Chain A
Amino acid sequence: MTLLSNNKPLNKQLNKYAQWKYWVLVVTLIILFLSALPSWYGEDAALQLSSKKPTSLSSEQVYQLLNQAGIHTKRIDQQRQNTLVVLQQADQQTLAKNVLSQAFAEDVQVTLVLAPAAPNWLLNMGFAPIKLGLDLRGGVQFLLDVDLDLVFTNQALMVSDSVKQFVRQEHISAVMVRQGDGAEVNIEAAQPEARGKIRQFITQQYPLWQVVGRQDTLIVSLSESEQVKLTNLTVQQNLQIMRSRIEELGITEALVQRQGENRIRIELPGVQDPASAKNVIGATASLAFYPVLETGSVNAMVLKDEQGQPVYVARKPVLGGDHIVDARAAIGDFGMSKVNISLDTGGGKLMSDFSRDNIGKPMATAFSEYSRNEKGQAQQSTKIISVATIQSQLGSKFEITGAGTHQEAQQLALLLRAGSMTAPVTIVEERTIGPSLGAENIVNGFAALALGMAVTLLFMACWYRRLGWVANVALIANMVMLFGLLALIPGAVLTLPGIAGLVLTVGMAVDTNVLIFERIKDKLAEGRSFASAIDVGFDSAFSTIIDANFTTMITAVVLFSIGNGPIQGFALTLGLGLLTSMFTGIFASRAIINLVYGRETRRAIKV
C-alpha cells in the first residue's frame, strides 16, 4: 500500500524520463519488430535432400524431375551435401517427396521441411517465423501409453527365477515361490532358517529389492525409488526409440515429448495420412533369441511358429532386443531375404558365450507384438519367426533368415534398427487435422484478431480523444512485441486457442491505459494541472494494475503447467500478453505522454 505524497524533491523534474529509458524502449521495440517480421512472410513447404555420398546431385536434375511430375519449385538451394527444394504449392510436398525418393532411392535421404519465406538478411540475423501448432498447420498427433506393468512383471520374473534356482541349489524344501502383482514376489517357506537363508540371498543379490516378512511368507518388492527410476528409464528409452523411428519416416520437425508419467506425445506436422505413420509408431515389436529345448520339456515356454506348430523354448531368452545396435535387410543366397544384425558388446558377449556351448543346437528368434484388447489391456502376442541351427560361434554380427518377403524383412529391420521395445506402447489418442482446415483456422483466427484490433483502436480513439492515440500506439507496440516474443522464445508454439489469447489480450491490454487515464481524469477534476495529473495518475494506478494483472497471471501459469498442447498455447499468449501490456501500457505510453504532454500546465483540460 502506498500513501501518495506530493512533496517530491524539487530538483526532480516532473514527467521526464532519462534518455537511457528511451533507448531501452526503442531498442527493445526494434529487436522485437525484426523478430516478428519473418512470421509475416510465412513459410514455404520444402524438401531437404541430403546425399549420403559426396555426389553429383545437380539442381537441374531435381528441377527437371519435379517439373515432369507437374510440381512447381520456387527455388533450389545447394550447400555441399544438402539441397533444399522450396515448393510453390504446399499440397505437393508429399508427391514431390515420393518422386524424389523414387528417383534417387538409396543415395539420398528426403525429408519434409518448412523453409522460411522471409528475405535472407532477416534470417541471417537469426530471426525465424513463429512456430505454428498442429491445429494451424495440419498434421497428425498421437498420444502413446507406455505400459509399465509388463516391465515390472519381467523384473519380478527375473527375481523369482533366481530364487527358485537358489532354493534348488541349497536343497531347501517346502518353499513356494509365486509372483504377485507388478514388481512383487511372494515366497512361502515354513521353516524360519529357510526364510533367513532366502532373505540373505535376496539382500545380497538384489539390493534394490525390499524383503518384508509376514508370518510364513516373505514379500519381496522393488523399492519405490527404484520403481520411479525404472519408469523413467523405460519412458526415456521409448522416447528415444520414437524419435529415431520418426527420423526414419523423414519428418524433421516432429515433436516427441513425454507427457505425464507414462505418456508420450508425438506431433507430426504436415503428415496427411496417419496410417503410414501409425504403422511405424504403433507397431511395437521386439525381438528376443531363445534356446530351443526338446519337445515336451517340463520347464519350457511353448510358443507357436508361423505355421502354428508349437516350439518349446527356455523361459529366459539368451538376449533381448535392447542389445541390437543395427539391423539391415539384405538379399542372401538363393534370393532369400535376410536381416543382418549387429549387437553391442554386452550382447555380443552373451551371444558368443551361448553359441560356443550350443553349436549344432537350434536357437529360436521370437518376435513379439503388443496390442490392446477391447478392455484396454496390453496384450503380448509372441511368435517364433525362425528356428535356426547355430552353425558356428556367433559374434556380435550375425544374420537371421526366414523373416518373410524382402519387404517384410525391410520392415522388421527398420523396427529393429530403431531399437527395441522393452515395454509395450499403445496409441490412446489420435488426432488428424487436414491441411485445409489448418489454413482455415489461421485465416479465421487472424480475421478475428484484425477485427478485434480495429474495433478496439476505433473505440479508444473516440473515447479518450486526446490520450486515446497514445493508448493505440501502445496497443500496436504491444502486438508487435507479443509476436516478436513468440518467435523468439524457444519452444513457443502458436495454436488456435493461442490466437484467441491474442485477441483477448487486445481487449484487456487497454485496461492498463484506461486505469491510468481514469486516474488522470480524477486528478484533473481535483483541479490539478495536466502535467501534475499525469504524474500522480500514473503513480496511483500502478499498484492497482499490478494487482489486477497478477491474478490473471496466476491462471495463465496454472493453465500452462497443467494443460496440454493447444491449451498451453492459450496460456502462453495470455501470460506473455499480460507482460507486454504492462510494459507498453505503463512504460511506453508514459514515455510518449511525457514527451508530448509532460510540460502541459493548463488545468481545465478535457481528456
Chain B
Amino acid sequence: MNVKTINNSSQALGYLTKWRYASSLISIVFMLLSLTVIGVKGFNWGLDFTGGVVTEIQIDKRITASEIQPLINAAYQQEVSVISASEPGRWVLRYANIPDEAQRPQLHTVLAPLNSDISVLNSSIVGPQVGQELVEQGGLALLVAMLCIMGYLSFRFEWRLASGALFALVHDVVFVLAFFSLSQMEFNLTVLAAILAILGYSLNDSIIIADRVREQLVAKPQWNTTDINNLAVKSTFSRTMVTSGTTLLTVVALWVMGGAPLEGFSIAMFIGILTGTWSSISVGATLPEFLGLKAEHYLVVPLTDTP
C-alpha cells in the first residue's frame, strides 16, 4: 500500500456523498422489498421449531427417492418428505411424529422390501411444545440482544450516531431473513445463532465508522457533517475491506468444508457479512447526517454528554 499522496480535503471526497446517498436509497428499497418477501412467503421452519421427526439414513446408492417414498408414506400414513442429503445414498426423512411408541413403525421393517442395508445416521424427535418454546426463546434472544446493544450504543455514542448503526443492523437482519424466506431454505437453530452473530458483526463495521466520525467531529469542528462522514468512510475503508474479506474467506471455508449441518449457518453468515459491510458504509453512515448530527453534539460538553 502506498501512502504517498492521499488528498483528504473535503472537496476531493465530495464524490463519496453522492455514492453514499444513492446506496442508502438502494438499501432502503431493498429493505422494503425484503419485508414484503418475508410477509408473503414466510419461513420454512426447521424441526427445532415445528416439532416432528427428522431421520437421516444411509442406504444403497442405487435406490431412488421414488422407491423410498411410497413405502414410507404408506407406513406412516402421511406425506413424508424424502430429501437427498449431501452424499449419494443418504436421505433425510421428515414427518410428523407418531406419539404412541408402540404404533411407530420401525424404519428397518418399513424399508425391508428395498433389500438394502439401512443404517440410521441420526434421528431427532421434537415434541410440538418444545418447538413452540424455542420460537419464543429465539425471539426473546433476538429482542434481548437488540435491547442490550441499543443500551450500549446510546451510552457510548450520541443518539444520532447510534441510530445509524442500529438501522444498519436491522437492515442486515431483515436482508438475511428475506433470503431464507425467498429461498425457502430451512430456518433452524443454527441459522438463528448465525443471525445473532450477524447482530454483533454488522455492528462492528458501523461502530468503527461511527468511532471515526466522532473522532473527526472533535478534531475538525469547522468541517460540515457530510464531509466528516465522507472522510470517516474513506479512512476506514481499507480496514472494512480487509476484515470483511478475511471473515468472508473463513465463512466460505466453512461453507465449502463444513458439510450439510453448517450449510445454513455459513450462508446466513456470508450474506450477513456482505450486507453488513454494505450497510455500514451506506445507510449506517448516512442516517446520522439526516438526523442532523453536528460537531457541537460532541463539542459542547464532550465528556458528559453521554446520558
Contact = CB atoms under 8 A, between A and B. Distances in A.
Contacts of B247: 504, 507-508, 511
A212 interface: no
B16 interface: no
Interface string B111-134: 000000001111111111110010
B242 interface: yes
A398 interface: no
Given A431-B123, A606-B1, A444 B258 contact: yes
A567 B190 contact: yes
A273 to B, nearest CB: 10
A309 interface: no
A511 to B, nearest CB: 4
Interface stretch (A63-71, A167-175, A484-492, A553-561): A553-561
B250 A432 contact: no
A508 B203 CA distance: 13
A507 B249 contact: yes
Interface string B197-236: 1011101100110011010001000000000000000011
A567 B236 contact: no
A321 B186 CA distance: 46
Contacts of A550: 152
Interface stretch (B63-71, B74-82, B142-150, B281-289): B142-150
Given A431-B124, A504-B250, A554 B259 contact: no
Interface string A369-380: 000111010000
A552 interface: yes
A196 to B, nearest CB: 43
B124 A432 contact: yes
A429 B156 contact: no
Contacts of A552: 197, 200-201, 203-204
Given A451-B257, A463-B242, A434 B248 contact: no
A135 interface: yes
B144 A503 contact: no
Given A507-B247, A558-B148, A376 B128 contact: yes
A503 B99 contact: no
Contact of B3 (A453, A510, A525): A525
Given A429-B126, A444-B258, A544 B211 contact: yes
A551 interface: yes
A303 to B, nearest CB: 23
Contact of B238 (A459, A504, A518, A543): A518
B251 A504 contact: yes
Contacts of A456: 246, 249-250
Interface stretch (A7-15, A355-363, A435-443): A435-443
A510 B243 contact: yes
A394 interface: no
Nearest to A275: B101
A448 interface: yes
A506 B257 CA distance: 15
Contacts of B235: 522
A266 B234 CA distance: 53
Contacts of A260: 133
A151 B243 CA distance: 56
A260 B137 CA distance: 11
Interface in A560-579: 562-564, 566-567, 570-571, 574
A543 B140 CA distance: 30
A554 B145 CA distance: 7
Nearest to B127: A428
A547 interface: yes
Which of A501, A511, A555, A556 has the largest count of B CB atoms less than 10 A from its CB?
A: A555
Given A460-B246, A551-B203, A606-B1, A497 B265 contact: yes
A29 interface: no
A510 B246 contact: yes
Given A448-B257, A518-B238, A511 B250 contact: no
Chain A interface mostly helix, strand, loop or mixed?
helix
Q: How large is the interface on B (under 10, 10 to 19, 20 to 34, 35 or more residues)?
A: 35 or more
Contacts of B200: 551-556, 574
B148 A448 contact: no
A150 interface: no
A521 interface: yes
B162 to A, nearest CB: 11
A469 to B, nearest CB: 15
A145 B99 CA distance: 14
Which of A145, A441, A548 has the largest count of B CB atoms less than 10 A from its CB?
A: A548
Which of A3, A429, A440 has the largest count of B CB atoms less than 10 A from its CB?
A: A429
B144 A558 contact: yes
B307 to A, nearest CB: 14
B239 interface: yes
Given A445-B258, A543-B211, A3 B218 contact: yes
Given A373-B99, A518-B239, A562 B141 contact: yes
Given A551-B152, A570-B193, A429 B125 contact: yes
Which of A431, A501, A504, A566 has the largest count of B CB atoms less than 10 A from its CB?
A: A504
B302 A444 contact: no
Contacts of B208: 515, 544, 547-548
Contacts of A135: 261
A143 interface: yes
Contacts of A563: 137, 141, 189, 193
Nearest to B236: A518
Contact of A551 (B149, B212, B246): B149
A524 interface: yes
Contacts of A440: 259
A376 B197 contact: no
B211 A547 contact: yes
A547 B140 contact: no
B245 interface: yes
B303 A452 contact: no
Contacts of A1: 214, 218, 302-303
Given A459-B249, A552-B203, A558-B144, A500 B265 contact: yes
A266 to B, nearest CB: 14
Contacts of B189: 563-564, 566-567
A428 B126 CA distance: 6
Nearest 6 CB-CB pairings of A with B: A552-B200, A507-B250, A452-B250, A507-B247, A428-B127, A452-B253
Interface of B: 1-3, 6, 56, 99-100, 119-130, 133, 137, 140-141, 144-145, 148-149, 152-153, 156, 189-190, 192-193, 196-197, 199-201, 203-204, 207-208, 211-212, 214, 218, 235-236, 238-239, 242-243, 245-251, 253-254, 256-259, 261-262, 265-266, 269, 302-303
9 contacts: A429-B124, A448-B253, A452-B249, A508-B246, A515-B208, A550-B152, A551-B204, A552-B203, A553-B200
Given A497-B190, A554-B145, 16 more contacts: A429-B124, A431-B125, A434-B121, A437-B56, A440-B259, A448-B257, A451-B253, A452-B249, A456-B250, A459-B249, A496-B262, A503-B251, A503-B258, A507-B249, A508-B246, A510-B246
Interface of A: 1, 3, 135, 143, 145, 260, 372-374, 376, 428-434, 436-437, 440-441, 444-445, 447-449, 451-453, 455-456, 459-460, 463, 496-497, 499-501, 503-504, 506-508, 510-511, 514-515, 518, 521-522, 524-525, 543-544, 547-548, 550-556, 558-559, 562-564, 566-567, 570-571, 574, 606-607
